[in-house]
Amino acid sequence: MNVFFETPRLILRDWSENDLGPFARMNADPRVMEFFPHPLDDRQTRDFYQRIRTEIDRQGYGLWALENKQDGRFIGFTGFHAVGFEAFFTPAIEIGWRLCHDVWGQGLASEAAAACLSYGEQVLGLHEICSFTTVVNRRSQRVMQKIGMERIAEFDHPRLPIEHPLSRHVLYRVVLTHGISTLA
């Protein structure tokens, strides 16, 4: 299995079929999916898994599987994704994460995301990364702030009806320069 990089507590690696069970459980957890339109069923998770694998194969980056070094357990994903809709800030590469509920509050999302930014700049040559979430998702916004991203705008997500309670999103961005994260 291809390991892309590690942090003190985590391994960011390619996906395996063994990840599908815990991935499906995570995507079905209403706590994890609170700020998405709905939890995912097994078929939706498998489709998502295939899209992730395809993007990694085509782009050389993607949403990498996140493994806890302590017990070798799959605990979520973190990585990059080409934004798949049109908006005032696209085309763009976003950084994203989703972790199993039982590992929340340990700083793992911030640890993985900060390492992704370094990898993205130093290995992939990325210069600007964005991230976005619904305005009510304070936890993800805290991760964005911790990794040096700056809030730059709000927008209505084009894939949600304007009246949907999760439609309004906040956009964060970081410009990467010489191995150092700087705000534009």
Q: What is the CATH number of the domain that holds 56?
A: 3.40.630.30
Give the chain's domain count.
1
Q: What is the DSSP string of 46-60?
A: HHHHHHHHHHHHHHS
Q: What is the pTM of this model?
A: 0.93
Model confidence pLDDT, tens digit, residues 120-171: 999 999 999 999 999 999 999 999 999 999 999 999 999 999 999 999 999 9
Domain that holds residue 83: 3-182
